[in-house]
Amino acid sequence: MIDHSDPVTQLAFMIVVSVVAGTFLLIAVALFRRWQQIRYGRYVHALQRKYRPVLAGILSGARSPAAIEILREMPMAELEVLLEPLFSRRKLPERSLVFFQALCLELGLIELWHSRLARGPRMAAPYSQSGASRESLGRPGMGLLLRAKSIRNLGKLRHRPSWPLLVKALDDPRAEVQFVALRALGALGAPESFPLLRERLHAVAQGNSQSPPLRGLRAAMASFDLACAPALVPSLRHGDGNVRLQGTEILRMIVSREAAFQPHLTLTAELLSPQMVELLLAALAIDANSETRARTAEIIVFLADPRATRALRNLLLDHQWFVRLRTVQALAHLRQAAAPLHVQIRGCLRDSHWQVREAAIQTLLSLGPEGTHHLYEHFLASPNHPTREQIVEVIERRGVVFELVEMYSNGANGVDARMVEQLAAESARVGLSGILRSVPPEVRLRFLSRLFSSAEAKMRFHEGTQPGLESAVSTEHVLEFLPRVAA
Amino acid sequence: MSHIRTLFEDWVTVFNLVVLSYFFLGNGIYTILMLLSLRATWVHQRQLAYQGLDALRVSPVTPPVTIVIPAWNEQDVIVDCVRTALQVDYPQLQVMVVDDGSTDSTLARLVESFGLLEMDGAYHGGLPTAPVQTYYTNPAIPSLLVVSKIRGGKPDALNAGINLCRSPYFCNIDADCLLERDSLLRLMDPVVNCTTQTVVSGGIIRILNGCETRGGRLLKVGLPQTWLERFQVVEYLRSFLFGRTGWHLLGGTLIVSGAFAVFHRETVIEAGGFSHDTVTEDMDLIVQLCQWAADNKRKIRTSFASDPVCWTECPSTLAVLANQRRRWQLGLCQTLWKHSGILFRKKYGIVGMLSFPFHSYVEGVGAVVEFLGYALVPAFIYLGMIPTRLLLVFILLGFVYGGFLSVGAVLLEELTYRRYPRFRDLVTLLIFGLLENLGYRQLVLFYRFQGVMKFLFGSRRWEKVTHVGAIAEGTP
C-alpha cells in the first residue's frame, strides 16, 4: 500500500504507526494502573483484616501493652496505612485526642513525622529508610505527599509541641504544603506561634512576600483563641492600610466565632487590652478604608465601653452603604448594644440601599418584642411602598405572620393587631391567604370573625358581596374573597 | 475549459491546505492540552488526598452561596433536583428555583413536595427581566425559595435569580442535574484559596445515565447501556478532563458549563448578566466577562476544577442528541460572532490571542471544513486530484489520532478520579474511546455542521432537550 517513493505518504504512515503505538501504550498504562490499584486495595484490606482486632481493642480506649507491642513491630508504612482512616476523618473526637497523641508518640509516629518535616522538602525520608517493606507502597519520590500528610496528622492530633516545625513548613516551596501547615497551625492554636504568623501576615499584606497565601494565613490566625487577640495590636496600629484591614478582619473572625459559642459575649479592656479598645474606637472606626470601618463595627458591638454606642451611631450613618449594612447586621447579634440604637436602626429602614433596609428589618426582628414593635410601627406609619414590601417579604419568610395570625385570633391587641389588619387590608394578602389555609380551621375561623368585626373591613366586605349574606358565607368563600377585600 | 480546470485545481489545493492546517492545529493543540492536564490533574488529585474540605466547611471566610435552578417544564426532574441541592454540604446555602413560566406541573409539584406557601415578595431588578409573579416559601425550609415568572427564556430566568439572590456568589445548575454532596465546597475551594478575585469557578459534568439514584442521591456509578450514551461518556471525559483543564492552565478558559458553575454576583451584574443574544448563555457570559475585565482593567480569574462533580442526563436518542449539538454549535457561532472584536487583540491576553482564535477556527469554522472534507474527498478521488494512497493514510491518521485523544482522556480518568469502579467499565470505556472516531464523531460533526448552517441561514431559537428523568427514575 505504501508508495516508498513518496516521502509525504511515508511520513504520514510513520505518524500513523507512532500514534497507534502511543494509543496502545496509553491503554496498557490504564490497565496496569487499574491492576495496581486493585492489588493495593487488596493489600490494605488484608492489612486491616489482620490487625482489626488489635486496633479495635486499642481504639476502645483500653490500654493493652500486648496490642501496642504488636503494632510497634509493624513497619511504619504499614502502620500509617492502617491508621490512615483515622486521620482522614473530618475531626478526631475531642475526648480521644490525648489518647491518640500518646499512642502515636509511643508507636514512634510523631517522631517519624517530625523527622520528615525537619529534613525539609528534598530529603523527606522514603519508606525504605523508615523500616517500611518494599511492597508497602512502592511510591518513591512522593516527598510532597509525605510531608503534607505528616503535617496534617500533627494538626489533627493537635500536637502543640510541633508548632516550630509547622512554622518552618511555611517556608516549603510548595503552596499546598504551606496551606496544610497553616491549617495545622490554626488547629493547634499554640499562642507562641501567633506573633510569628503575624509577622508573615505583615510581609504578605505589604506585598513583600507572596507566601504563605494570605487567605490561608487569615483563616489560620482566625482559628486562634480570643486570648491571642491582643497580639494583633501591632497589626491594628500599622501604618499600612492593608495590614490594618487584615488585622481587623482576623480580629473580627475571632470575635464572631467566640460570639457563636457565647451568646452574651462582652469584650472588655482586660480581655482585649486597653490599647486595642482605644484603637478600635478612636482609630479604626474612622479609618480611611471603608472595609476596615465595616469590620470594626462588627467588633465594636461586643465592646463594653460607653463610647461604643456613639461609634456605632456614626457607623450607621457612614457614607458607604456596605459599612451601614455591616453595622446594622452586626447589631442583630447583641441586644444590649442595639438597645440604645433602636431609633437609628429604624432610620435604616429609610436607607437608599435596599440591602441596608433589608438588614435593618432582620435586625429589628431579632431584637425581640421591642425591635419588632419598632418595625411594625414603621410599617404602619411609612408611606414608602418598597420598604413596606420588603418588610412583608421578610416577615413572611421568617414565619412571623404565623405568629401574628395566632396572636390575633387569640385576641391580642395593640400594634400587633393593627399590623395584622394592615397586612390583610393591603400588603400581605397573598401570604396571609396561604397561611390562613394552612392553619387549623378553628384558628382560621376565630381570625376571620375578628378581622371582619372591624368596621373598615366589614365595609369593604359589604362592597363586594350581597348585603345580609355575610352570616351565610363560608370560610372558604371568605378566603377567596380576602384579596378582594384588600383591593 | 483548461482554465476552469486549473482554477478548480487551485481551489482544491487551497482547500487541502485548509483541511491539513485544521487537522494539525486542532490535534496539535489538543495533544498539548492533554499533556498539560495530565500533569495538572495528577497533582491536583494528589493534593485532594490531604487537603480536607473540613477547614473550608468551618472557615469564616467561606462565602455564602445561592444555588439558582432555572426551570421550564421540568416536572419529571425538578423535585429531585431541588432535593439534591438542599442536601449539598455547604455552610451558608440558599436554594432558589426560578420557574420560567412552565406550562406543565413543575410549580405544582414543587409546592406539593416542599409544602410551599405563596408569599409576598419584593423584587429588586438590578438586571432587566420579565416580571416575577409569585413567590413561594416554607418557613420550615428557610433555605428554599421558589419564584414563578413570566416566560423569558433561560438567561432571563438566571438574571431573575441573580436579582433575587442575596449571597456574593451564586451557583447555577440545570434542573436535570444531581450534585454530589461536597461538590459545592470543592467548587468554592479555588475561590476561597486564591488571592486574585475568582469570578467564575466551573466543575466537571459527568453522565448520569446508567447510574443508580434514589431521592436525589447517587447510589452507584455505572456505565449506560446504549452505545450512544457510552460514546457521550467518553466525549465528556475528553471535553472536561483535558479540554477545559488544559485551557484553564493556559489561562484561556472560554467555556464553563452553565449546568454547574459558580459566579461572583456583583461582577456578573456589572458585566450585564446573562445575555439573550445567544442560545449558549454560559459561554457568552464567560467571554463577556473576559472582555469586560480587560476593557475596564479589572483583574479577574476564571477557574476550573475537575473534582467537583455534577451528574447530568445525556441524550439517549439521536433526535435529542441532534437538537442538543445543533444548539451548542449555533450558540458557539453566535458567541464567537458577537465577540469577534477580541480576536487577535493583545489586550485580551491568552483569550484574545490563542483561545478565541482556536475556538473560532477549530470548533466553529472547523465543523464546516471537516464536513466538507468528508463530503468532497470522494469527488476529488474520482477526479484524480489527490493521490489515493496519501489520502487513505491521512484518513487513517485522522481516525487513530482521534482514538489516541479519547483513550488519553480515559487514561486521565483512570489515573486520577477512577469514578467507574468496575474493571469491565474501564475496558468498555477504552473500547468506546477507540471506536468513537468510527461513526459517532462523524455523526456529531454532521449535527455541528447543521448548527453552523442554522447560524448562517436558519432559525436561531433555543431547542429544548427533553429529559427522560433519569434522576427520578432511579435506575439505569
- pLDDT of res. B184: 93
Residue A481 within a domain: yes
Q: What sign has the CA pseudo-torsion B193, B194, B199, B203?
A: negative
Looking at CA atoms only, how far is residue A196 from chain B in angstroms? 21
In angstroms, the Cα distances linking A105 to A88, A111, A114, A183, B329 are 19, 7, 11, 21, 61
Indicate whether A334 belongs to any domain.
no
Q: Stretch A103-131: mean pLDDT, rounded? A: 71
- With CB atoms and an 8 Å threshold, state whether B396 touches A16: yes
CA distance A385 to chain B (A): 10
Total Cβ atoms within 10 A of residue B65: 27
Q: What is the pLDDT of residues A273-291, one digit of tens each?
A: 999 999 999 999 999 999 8
B 29-48: CB under 8 A from A: 46-47
The answer, for B121 touching chain A at a CB cutoff of 8 Å, is yes
In chain B, which among 422-461 make CB contacts under 8 A with chain A? 423, 426-427, 430, 434
A15 interfaces chain B, CB cutoff of 8 Å: yes
Nearest-CA residue of chain B relative to A22? B404
Model confidence at A480, pLDDT cuts 50, 70, 90, reads: low
Q: How, if at all, do strands B169-173 and B260-264 pair?
A: antiparallel
Which residues on adjacent β-strands are paired with residue B170? Answer: B66, B263
Residue A132 has pLDDT above 50, yes or no: no
Contact B59 A23 (CB under 8 A): no
Of B51, B117, B396, the CB nearest to A438: B117
Sign of the dihedral defined by the CA atoms of residues B152, B155, B160, B163, in that order: negative
Tens-place pLDDT, residues B194-207: 767 889 999 999 99
CB-based contact (8 Å) between B382 and chain A? Answer: no
Cα separation of A36 and A55, whole Å? 26
Average pLDDT, chain B: 86
DSSP annotation of A472: G
pLDDT value at residue B448: 94
* Closest CA–CA distance from residue B361 to any residue of chain A (Å): 23
A215–B423 CB contact, under 8 Å: no
**Separation in Å, CA A3 to CA A11, A12, B392, B395:** 11, 11, 12, 16
**Closest chain A residue to the Cα of B50, Cα to Cα:** A149
Read off the pLDDT of each residue in B359-388 and give the average, rounded to a whole number.
Answer: 83
pTM for the full model? Answer: 0.78
Query: Is residue A460's pLDDT more than 60?
Result: no
CA A99-A101-A105 angle, 5° bins: 120
A39 interfacial to chain B (CB closer than 8 Å): no
Q: Using the beta-carbon criterion (under 8 Å), do B60 and A256 form an inter-chain contact?
A: yes
**Whole-angstrom distance, CA of residue A81 vs CA of residue A289:** 50
Q: What share of chain A is helix, strand, coil (3-state, %, to 5)?
A: 75, 0, 25
Task: For residue B400, give the nearest of A16, A33, A355 by CB distance.
Answer: A16
When CB atoms are compared, the residue of B193, B194, B389 closest to A9 is B389
Using alpha carbons, select from A310, A382, A376 the residue that is nearest to residue A344. Answer: A310
Residue B54 Cα, gap to closest chain A Cα (Å):
6
Q: CB A431 to CB B120 under 8 A?
A: yes
Q: What is the C-alpha to C-alpha distance for residues A152 and A8, in angstroms, rounded to an integer?
A: 57
Count how many pairs of residues, chain A against chain B, have C-beta atoms within 8 Å: 156
Provide the domain count of chain A: 1
Coil, strand or helix at A91: coil
Residue of A nearest to B31 (CA): A19
Angle at A227 between CA A226 and CA A228, to 5 degrees: 90
A422-436, B211-225, B359-373, B435-449: least confident range: A422-436
Residue A28, pLDDT score: 93
Q: Which residue range is the domain that position A482 belongs to?
A: 399-487
Give the model's confidence band at B472: pLDDT under 50 very low, under 70 low, under 90 confident, else very high.
very low
Angle, CA A213 vertex, CA A165 and CA B171 arms, to 5°: 130
- Tell whether A189 is within 8 A of chain B (Cβ): no
**Residues B344, B354 contacting (CB under 8 angstroms):** no
Contact B426 A31 (CB under 8 A): yes
Contact B55 A183 (CB under 8 A): yes
pLDDT tens for each residue of A282-321: 999 999 999 899 999 999 999 988 899 999 999 999 999 9
| 3-class secondary structure per residue, chain B | CHHHHHHHHHHHHHHHHHHHHHHHHHHHHHHHHHHHHHHHHHHHHHHHCCCCCHHHHHCCCCCCEEEEEEECCCCCCHHHHHHHHHCCCCCCEEEEEEEECCCCCHHHHHHHHHCCEEECCCCCCCCCCCCEEEEEECCCCCCEEEEEECCCCHHHHHHHHHHHCCCCEEEEECCCEEECCCHHHHHHHHHHCCCCCEEEEEEEEEECCCCEEECCEEEECCCCCCHHHHHHHHHHHHHHHHHHHHHHHHCCCCCCCCCEEEEEHHHHHHCCCCCCCCCCHHHHHHHHHHHHHHHCCCCCEEEEEEEEEEEECCCCCHHHHHHHHHHHHHHHHHHHHHCHHHCCCHHHHHHHHHHHHHHHHHHHHHHHHHHHHHHHHHHHHHHCCCCHHHHHHHHHHHHHHHHHHHHHHHHHHHHCCCCCCCHHHHHHHHHHHHHCCCCHHHHHHHHHHHHHHHHHHCCCCCCCCCCCCHHHHCCC
Q: Is pLDDT above 80 for B156?
A: yes
Q: Return the amino acid letter for A140.
A: P
For residue A458, the Cα-to-chain-centroid distance in whole angstroms is 51
Q: How confident is the model at residue A127 (pLDDT cuts 50, 70, 90)?
A: very low
Q: Is residue A349 part of a domain?
A: no
Give the one of A19, A257, A354 whose C-beta lies nearest to B60's C-beta.
Answer: A257
Query: CA-to-CA distance for B148 and B157, rounded, in angstroms?
Result: 9
Q: Do A34 and B392 touch (CB under 8 A)?
A: no
Q: Is there a domain that residue A52 lies in?
A: no
Collapsed DSSP state (helix, strand, coil) of residue A469: coil
A241-268 tens-digit pLDDT: 999 999 999 999 999 889 888 878 889 9
* 3-state secondary structure (DSSP) of residue A303: strand
Buried b (16+ CB within 10 A) or exposed e, B273-291: bbbbebbbbbbbbbbbbbb
Give residue A487's pLDDT.
42
Among B48, B50, B141, B166, most A C-beta atoms within 10 A, so best to mutate, is B50
Q: Is residue A441 part of a domain?
A: yes
Amino acid A481: pLDDT = 54
pLDDT at B51 over 80: no
State which H helix or E strand residue A76 sits in.
helix A76-87
From the CA of A354, how many Å to the nearest CA of chain B? 8
Q: Answer whether A352's CB lies under 8 Å from A327's CB.
A: no
Query: How large a percentage of chain B has pLDDT more than 70?
Result: 93
Average pLDDT score over residue span B431-448? 92
Q: Residue A267 in 3-state DSSP?
A: strand
- Chain B positions touching A15 (Cβ under 8 A) are 397
All cell numbers assigned to A454:
372591624
Rounded to the nearest angstrom, the minimum Cα separation between B193 and chain A is 6
Contact B225, B476 (CB under 8 A): yes
> Among A396-405, A431-440, B333-342, B463-472, which range has the highest average pLDDT?
B333-342
Please give the grid coordinates belonging to residue B243. Answer: 479540554
Q: How far apart are CA A97 and CA A281, in angstroms?
A: 40
Query: With helix as H, strand as E and coil as C, how does B74-130 read?
Result: CCCCHHHHHHHHHCCCCCCEEEEEEEECCCCCHHHHHHHHHCCEEECCCCCCCCCCC
When scoring B38, B95, B393, B417 by the number of chain A Cβ atoms within 10 A, the one with the most, hence best to mutate, is: B393
Tens-place pLDDT, residues A353-408:
888 998 999 999 988 888 899 999 999 888 888 888 888 888 888 888 888 888 88
Please judge whether A30 and B117 are an interchain contact, meaning their C-beta atoms are less than 8 angstroms apart.
no
Instruction: Identify whether A279 is part of a domain.
Output: no
A260-319 residues touching B, CB cutoff 8 A? none
Is residue A438 a part of any domain in this protein?
A: yes
Whether the bond between A212 and the residue before it is cis, its omega within 30 degrees of 0, is: yes
Buried b (16+ CB within 10 A) or exposed e, A358-376: bbbbbbbbbbeeebbbbbb
A464 touches B: beta carbon within 8 Å: no
Nearest to B415 among A8, A27, A33 (CB): A33
- Of A338, A418, A349, nearest in space to A382 by CA: A349
Residue range B267-293: average pLDDT?
A: 91
Closest CA–CA distance from residue A289 to any residue of chain B (Å): 19
**Shortest CA distance to A323 belongs to which of A289, A368, A274?**
A289
CA distance A202 to A234: 10
Residue environment code for B110-132, b if the CB has 16+ CB neighbours within 10 A, otherwise e: bbeebebbbbbbbbeebbebbeb
A389 closest CB neighbour out of B122, B387, B426:
B122
- ipTM greater than 0.90: no
Q: Grid coordinates standing for B382?
A: 474520482
Round to whole Å and give the CA distance between A472 and A469. Answer: 5
* pLDDT the model gives residue A414: 86
Instruction: Give the CA angle between residues A294, A300, A303 to the nearest 5°.
Output: 170
* pLDDT at res. A226: 93
Of A27, A33, A152, the CB nearest to B407: A27
Put simply, the chain A residues between 364 and 403 with a CB less than 8 A from any chain B CB are 386, 389-390, 392-393, 396-399, 402
Q: Within a domain: residue A460?
A: yes
Q: Do B50 and A148 touch (CB under 8 A)?
A: yes
For Cα atoms A475, A478, A484, give the angle at the middle one, nearest 5 degrees. 165
* B49 pLDDT higher than 70: no
Q: What's the confidence (pLDDT) of residue A462?
A: 46
User: For residue A31, which of B427, B46, B422 has the smallest C-alpha distance?
Assistant: B427
Q: Provide the greatest CA pair distance for chain B.
A: 83
**Residue A433: its chain B contacts at CB < 8 A?**
118
Query: What pLDDT is recorded for position A311?
Result: 94
Least confident of A14-23, A61-70, B9-18, B133-142: A61-70
In this complex, do B194 and A22 lie within 8 Å of one another by their Cβ atoms?
no
